[in-house]
A and B are shown apart, each in its own frame.
Chain A
Amino acid sequence: MTRGENKKKKFHINNVSLLITIVLFVAMFIFGSIRYDHFFSISTFLNLFNDNAYLMIAGIGETFVLITGGIDISISSTVAFTGVFMAHCLEKGMPAFVVICLALLIGITVGAVQGSLIHYFKLQPFIVTLAGQFLMRGLCVVISEASIPINDSFFKGMALGRIPISFGEAKPLNGKIYYYVLIVMVVLLVSIFVLKKLAFGRAIYAVGGNEQSAALMGLNVARTKIGVYIISSFCAALAGIVFSFYTLAGYGLQNMGMELDAISSAVIGGTLLTGGVGSVFGTMVGAMIQGIIQTIVTYENLNTWWTKVTIAGLLCLFIVIQRVIAVRADAMKGKATAE
């Protein structure tokens, strides 16, 4: 009896934030569907993935870091740098496969260096990744000041290749996803598996909950902390690749401030910046909410900066909601007893 109640309460506390996010998403979708013609369609929904794939991937990577209680603000530059780097290499005639591998390798290296600095020298993640951000943004311009177009056939194939998805004859029931959306799905599923099922994933939550305790319980804190920064940078590099598919160009000034979009996706999706709580699924929904706001703003024919204004309002709302939930949860802490 009591056990059942306990379970219910736990569900309540852990997921209420994510639940609100999902409800909000549905509400916005309905709002758009009523207000605008042609809004209600499979294609509108799928385009959220098509247009935000890179943000989702980067956001999922960022979520790993946030769960440990850290932060990684270098990801936007990593996205830009890998983009410019790949465009440059492809221009020089290197094969696509090699270029992609190199880009991912860069991501891993950047993450490993940043993570090691943060862990071994006990530096603030904010400052270390800020330095990383400046460094890579600067390196973009070292490679090329101008935008470099990508003409590689594989990249072009990925940019245009899509899978039609149809639920019937009517136009709203038809849509398509680009191949690279599949990468998002793979990243999402692997991330969920890692976080839920692998010892490494659980250690991430443990470190976020209480780093000292995690160390005293014999968990490898160094590996965990450096690991999440590697994952974050790796995902950023992957996002850079997807972004190149999306734009077919590499440009050093693209995606300025995208790290904040990624972080806000995570927060809207229920991740606590204090660490210990968060889910990658939530981050994806958070990115979709940002996408749908963008879509509505476009339909409304407003300046695109209204997207930012709306997201700012949403972020405030969510931070307050999280605080309220935390206070309520605090009140319940220590109250459960043995049966």
Chain B
Amino acid sequence: MSNQEKLLTMTGISKSFGKAVKALDNVQFELNAGEIHALLGENGAGKSTLIKVLTGVEERDKGEITLDGKTIHPRSTDEAQKVGISTVYQEVNLCPNLSVAENIYIGRAPKTKFGGMDWKKMNADASKLLSGFGLNLNVQANLDNYSVAIQQMIAIARASDIKAKVLILDEPTSSLSQAEVNKLFEVMKKLKAEGMGIIFVTHFLDQVYEVTDRITVLRNGAYVGTYNTSDLPRMELVSKMIGKDYAALNKSVLDSKAEKKGSDKGEPFVKLDNVSHQGTINNIDMDIHKGEVLGLSGLLGSGRSETARVIFGLDSVSEGELKIKGEKVNFKHPIDAIRKDIAFCPEDRKTDGIIGDLSIRDNIVLALQTKKGLFKKISKKEAQILADKYIEQLEIKTPNADQLIKNLSGGNQQKVILARWLATNPELLMLDEPTRGIDVGTKAEIQKIVIDLASEGMAVLFISSELDEEIRCCQKIIVLRDMQQAGEVSDEEISQSAVMEIMAGGDNA
């Protein structure tokens, strides 16, 4: 190799799924030793496929990969690991039924003289390794005793401990808190100093600018370019990722919001009067008016999602009153809420939202069918019309409505879920983290859809852990803390600092 520093090069990589879908088209990528290299692009840009090709999960159709000057062709994760490529995936890929220590060392556990596993040494090693990450865990406990964030840190600990030359982090931070992200960055910098090459896939541009050295952008399966992070202004980066002018898109979101200032402040569509549910929320008091985007903010576990669950009839009201259009209701099941024109897109679209093996069309009509009852079947023709309508309206990127939803990218899946609920013609739409794990372009699109829906008269409850997003979309934000209402800000008062102050609980904590 001409350049000593070059650790990994991928050239001319192509990969198709079937005849129609070209996931990667002549893509190149290079990684130096001791570098953190961001791999960016919208959903469906081909990042995941490129990673999968590199880690041997998918086989490339064309192209060459060299590691340390040697051509490699990994055919399984195992092979990739053996040549020194180690990966942490977005979803925690560990075994919940094994202990923390085992999850770190399985497949390469220390052995005793008799050939058996040395549990003692393994546990000690695991404790030591994790304390290097600032985690002091009971390594003998089963993995699923710990939160997803901690599990993710454990996965990273595992990957970094394998004698890897290349460490791939595929959106590792989407479930981590800020403090944990910082910890992760420390570790990344440490590994980088030790000469490891790190490929960092993320949707958080702040993080890209905080920690990476270079950026490679993909779009629609094609290579856009590689840039030094410090030389690439953020706006320009986003424009490269989405292939259109981000500033314009961003402005359209803000314009939409400005346009629909007033909402009718008549009778609220939903009124929560001192509502509690044992163990999740306490004395929540709020109104949601039609034509309003109400934000619900707070830290994880503060009762955001739980409030929506109560409104949707997933959890019962144990104290207080829930009123829909002034009428007291007592939902026993979500179907009761659906019949009252309430829709809820839950937080975890993978487990609670999409049905991967059904087509886009079937996924879209699902909620409407439920609302109508099982015996009034929606004909295929009607379903097709609905699906086509939303594919167009929400700009869902797919060849047709017959495509299985699991083949779509995250952002497009989210749009399908949104379409599913819009098809029921709801008066109240509750969105729980609708843009998690979605690229900036699609994010802005979804935000705009939300605002537009509200201006058409829908009531929207918007739950997001990204403050920035809430501030852009909502007219009023209610902040929850420790399962209670901590305060609210509206209209001009809305600002990051105002919300955060309430979140943190400045005065009486």
Contacts and interface: CB of A to CB of B under 8 A. Distances in A.
A198 B118 CA distance: 10
Nearest to B114: A197
Contacts of B138: 3, 6-7, 10, 336
B147 interface: yes
Contact of A219 (B78, B89, B92, B114): B78
Contacts of A217: 77, 93-95, 103, 106-107, 158
B97 A209 contact: yes
B2 to A, nearest CB: 32
A333 B98 CA distance: 13
Interface string A1-38: 00100110010011000000000000000000000000
Interface in B419-467: none
Interface string A261-300: 0000000000000001100000000000000000000000
Contact of A339 (B116, B136, B145): B136
Interface in B123-177: 135-138, 140-142, 144-148, 150, 158
Contacts of A193: 116
Contacts of B142: 10, 13-14
A171 to B, nearest CB: 42
Contacts, number: 112
Contact of A202 (B96, B98, B140): B98
Interface string A187-200: 00000010011110
A313 interface: no
Nearest to A333: B144
B117 interface: yes
A277 B95 CA distance: 12
A338 B141 contact: no
Contacts of A6: 138, 141, 145
A3 B148 CA distance: 20
Contact of B137 (A276, A334, A338): A338
A199 B107 contact: yes
B148 A334 contact: yes
Interface residues of A, number: 37
Given A7-B140, A7-B141, A210-B93, 6 more contacts: A197-B117, A199-B109, A213-B92, A213-B95, A276-B95, A335-B147
Contacts of A333: 144-145
B97 A276 contact: yes
A153 to B, nearest CB: 37
B102 interface: yes
Interface of B: 57, 76-78, 81-82, 87, 89, 92-98, 102-103, 106-107, 109, 112, 114-117, 135-138, 140-142, 144-148, 150, 158
A177 B109 CA distance: 39
A338 B106 contact: no
Contacts of A210: 93-96
A212 interface: yes
B109 A220 contact: no
Contacts of A276: 95-97
Contact of A198 (B94, B95, B116, B147): B116
A168 interface: no
Interface in A209-262: 209-210, 212-220
A278 B109 CA distance: 21
A196 B146 CA distance: 23
Contacts of A209: 95-98
B147 A218 contact: no
A301 interface: no
Contacts of A303: none
A213 B136 contact: no
Contacts of A198: 115-117
A334 B82 CA distance: 32
